[in-house]
């Protein structure tokens, strides 16, 4: 059953059409990722769903008694309540019922009023209180706050004194505690660290309601969502699978559309040649007949849509450095009683793409500022190697002069450039037309980030120190930055909580804190796997089974192993069957008589997409089953 249905939705502002003919449904417990370039209309669609805006056309139907929750962007800013009281305010009706139950108890103890009536009231209220979750709402509130990264001492902080990121987390916590049937999350992963991200992912996976999630965090989308909505060129398309699966399917569809368009244009050019030939031969009747065929064919031709403009740039050649780029020895830093890190030691070598990880507040940004000379360490030393020219990307974008225009910000630093070259460079970073004359203070976060990246690119730095470089960037811009950094010939030290970005680029992960530094080869997944394995080893060493319990547990594990083995066999059989079906469909698609039948081509490509989607899902399930089988065999001691 659909909890939400959107039909033929259109939204326009003046002469600008934001989107048109939008159709989709949200089923029970579905988690849908919502992607599209910045300013494409994603947040506007959310505001239409909650009724804050009225559509230009179309209908939005909500299921009966469906409660929709929306993550407010600037919630709790003026609240004078403490963090805990603000979070618990979600349960105000339960708190009021609890107070009333206590009042009734006091009245009965004092002998005031009709005792039978008071008992009846208390019993009724107690039942409502317990059925509404009254026995657990306080522990749920504490658990939610802890999961989102609030320490016990933060519970008593006044909301007005929180940072923007803390207020965002508190607003998210309140929304999740309210347990709506459908939640609309607009960039929920902004401002939260990796531990909080993982907690949020697990919460949403277990969440019994539905969710639509706007996010540029591709790793998060892959982990949480099973369907993807893509808003592009005023149209919304719905795909099965998370972000990576969406990308695969879209690439396949774009290629099919491109080939189909080329075949159509080949026919157009053939007819144009015949018409020209017939006119030269003065066969005007034949030429006129062919012209009608051409006109009909042109009416059927649909050119593939061009992608939205994305960053197109390269860091170019950079000067070489020695093999040792940076050496850090025993760095420590505190601000009063706030101890950030201690005894941090590591080395960065030429060509390294190292990522600094750690919980929010552990001092990652401060460490970069120490290396750039903007902060002093309490103890320890560091040194750059021969020929090293560091360049710094500050996540606060403070390197920009907000009183300047975009063109002056670049031109003032490179007076030898011509205006044409400066405008061309800005155009590669999506500043076109009069956008180059905008004052920086009026630019969006994404525009400021792109301008900062351009300045860094032009600096000639061969050692990049990047602090959350993907913040403010939409997915296409993130992917363009990834590609440029992959081709960068220098060395990098990066702070990021974008796990997709880390996996794509990282050669090494450095985790810092009060225990010093831990180093892990590879990307985020390898780092997380090492940590998980370490925790499991510790748990196993502490676990000692008892005779009867061990026997029962072994029997349960043996039974589960048999079921998993059977499921693996069925998955493998279906995967092989799908291979045969895909091969047959592709063979039919390659036949000349089929390629001339547009309807059959679309039918077959749709079938192939569906089979590929099913096969990918089965392969994912097969991998999970194989992993579980290995775990069970290890537990049972089976070689």
Dump pLDDT digits (tens) for 205-237: 888 899 999 999 999 999 999 999 999 888 999
pLDDT in tens, 61-73: 998 888 898 875 5
Summarize the confidence of residues 288-315 as an average pLDDT. Answer: 76
Residue 536, number of CB atoms within 10 A of its CB: 11
Q: What percent of the chain has pLDDT over 90?
A: 35
Structural tokens at position 561: 């192993």
Least confident range from 372-381, 479-488, 543-552: namely 543-552
Report strand pairing: 324-335 vs 338-349: antiparallel
Structural tokens at position 92: 């105000």
Rg (CA), the chain: 30
110 vs 113: CA distance, rounded Å: 9
**What is the DSSP-derived secondary structure letter of residue 498?**
-
Q: What percent of the chain has pLDDT over 70?
A: 92
Mean pLDDT over each residue of the chain, to the nearest integer: 85
Q: Report yes or no on whether pTM surpasses 0.85.
A: no
In this predicted structure, the answer to whether residue 575 has a pLDDT above a threshold of 80 is no
Residue with more model confidence, 485 or 131 = 485
Summarize the confidence of residues 480-492 as an average pLDDT. Answer: 92
Query: Residue 22: beta bridge partners?
Result: 9
Confidence at residue 546, expressed as pLDDT on a 0 to 100 scale: 46
Which residues does 595 contact at the CB level (< 8 Å), separation at least 6? 263, 589, 601
Summarize the confidence of residues 317-344 as an average pLDDT. Answer: 92
Confidence at residue 356, expressed as pLDDT on a 0 to 100 scale: 94
**What is the DSSP-derived secondary structure letter of residue 360?**
T
CB 322 within 8 A of CB 387: yes
Summarize the confidence of residues 123-146 as an average pLDDT. Answer: 85
Which residues does 7 contact at the CB level (< 8 Å), separation at least 6? 23, 58, 59, 60, 61
In this predicted structure, the answer to whether residue 385 has a pLDDT above a threshold of 90 is yes
519 vs 526: CA distance, rounded Å: 11
**What is the DSSP-derived secondary structure letter of residue 161?**
G
In this predicted structure, the answer to whether residue 281 has a pLDDT above a threshold of 90 is no
Q: Count Cβ atoms within 10 A of the Cβ of residue 420 and give its class: 0-12 exposed, 13-18 middle, 19 or more buried.
A: exposed
What are φ and ψ of residue 216, in 5° steps? -100, 0
End-to-end CA, the chain: 46
Structural tokens at position 504: 């794509």
Summarize the confidence of residues 400-415 as an average pLDDT. Answer: 92
Confidence at residue 559, expressed as pLDDT on a 0 to 100 scale: 79
């Amino acid at each position: 059953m659909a909890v939400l249905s959107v039909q033929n939705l259109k939204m326009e502002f003046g002469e600008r059409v934001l989107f048109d003919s939008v159709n989709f449904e949200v089923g029970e417990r579905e988690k849908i990722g919502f992607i599209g370039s910045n300013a494409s209309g994603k947040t506007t669609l959310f505001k239409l769903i909650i009724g804050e805006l009225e559509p230009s056309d179309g209908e939005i139907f909500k299921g009966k008694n469906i409660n929709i929750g929306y993550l407010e962007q600037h919630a709790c800013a003026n609240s004078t309540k403490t963090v805990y009281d603000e979070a618990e305010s979600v349960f105000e009706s339960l708190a009021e019922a609890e107070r009333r139950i206590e009042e009734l108890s006091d009245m009965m103890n004092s002998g005031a009023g009709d005792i039978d009536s008071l008992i009846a009231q208390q019993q009724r209220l107690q039942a409502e209180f317990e059925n509404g979750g009254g026995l657990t709402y306080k522990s749920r509130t504490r658990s939610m706050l802890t999961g989102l990264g609030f320490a016990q001492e933060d519970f008593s902080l006044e909301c007005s004194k929180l940072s923007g990121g803390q207020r965002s987390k508190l607003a998210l916590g309140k929304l999740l505690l309210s347990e709506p049937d459908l939640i609309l999350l607009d960039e929920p992963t902004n401002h939260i660290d990796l531990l909080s991200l993982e907690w949020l992912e697990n919460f949403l996976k277990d969440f019994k309601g539905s969710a639509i999630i706007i996010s540029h965090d591709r790793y998060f989308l892959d982990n949480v969502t099973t369907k993807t909505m893509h808003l592009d060129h005023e149209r919304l398309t719905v795909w099965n699978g998370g972000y990576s699966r969406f990308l695969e399917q879209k690439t396949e569809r774009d290629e099919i559309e491109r080939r189909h368009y080329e075949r159509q244009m080949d026919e157009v050019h053939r007819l144009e040649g015949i018409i020209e030939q017939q006119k030269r031969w003065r066969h005007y009747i034949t030429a006129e007949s062919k012209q009608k065929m051409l006109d009909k064919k042109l009416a059927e031709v649909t050119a593939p849509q061009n992608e939205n403009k994305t960053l197109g740039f390269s860091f170019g050649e950079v000067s070489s450095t020695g093999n040792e780029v940076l050496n850090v020895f025993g760095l420590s830093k505190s601000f009063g009683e706030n101890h950030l890190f201690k005894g941090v030691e590591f080395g960065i070598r030429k060509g390294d793409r190292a990522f600094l990880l750690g919980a929010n507040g552990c001092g990652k940004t401060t460490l970069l500022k120490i290396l750039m000379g903007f902060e002093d360490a309490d103890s320890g030393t560091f040194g750059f190697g021969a020929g090293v020219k560091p360049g710094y990307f500050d996540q606060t974008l403070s390197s920009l002069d907000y009183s300047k225009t975009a063109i002056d910000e670049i031109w003032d630093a490179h007076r030898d450039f011509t205006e044409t070259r400066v405008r061309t460079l800005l155009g590669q970073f999506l500043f076109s037309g009069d956008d180059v004359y905008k004052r920086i203070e009026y630019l969006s976060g994404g525009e400021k980030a792109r301008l900062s990246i351009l300045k860094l690119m032009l600096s000639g730095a061969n050692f990049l120190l990047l602090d959350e470089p993907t913040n403010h960037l939409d997915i296409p811009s993130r992917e363009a930055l990834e590609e440029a950094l992959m081709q960068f010939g220098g060395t990098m030290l990066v702070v990021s909580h974008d796990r997709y970005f880390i996996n794509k680029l990282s050669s090494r992960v450095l985790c810092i804190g009060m225990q010093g530094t831990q180093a892990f080869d590879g990307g985020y997944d390898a780092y997380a796997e090492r940590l998980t394995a370490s925790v499991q080893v510790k748990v196993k060493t502490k676990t000692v089974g008892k005779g009867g319990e061990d026997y029962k547990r072994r029997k349960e594990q043996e039974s589960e192993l048999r079921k998993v083995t059977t499921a693996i066999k069925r998955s493998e059989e279906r995967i092989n069957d799908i291979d045969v079906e895909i091969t047959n469909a592709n063979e039919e698609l390659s036949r000349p008589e089929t390629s001339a039948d547009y309807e059959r081509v679309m039918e077959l490509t749709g079938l192939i997409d569906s089979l590929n989607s099913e096969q990918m899902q089965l392969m994912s399930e097969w991998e999970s089953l194989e992993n579980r089988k290995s775990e069970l065999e290890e537990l049972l001691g089976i070689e």
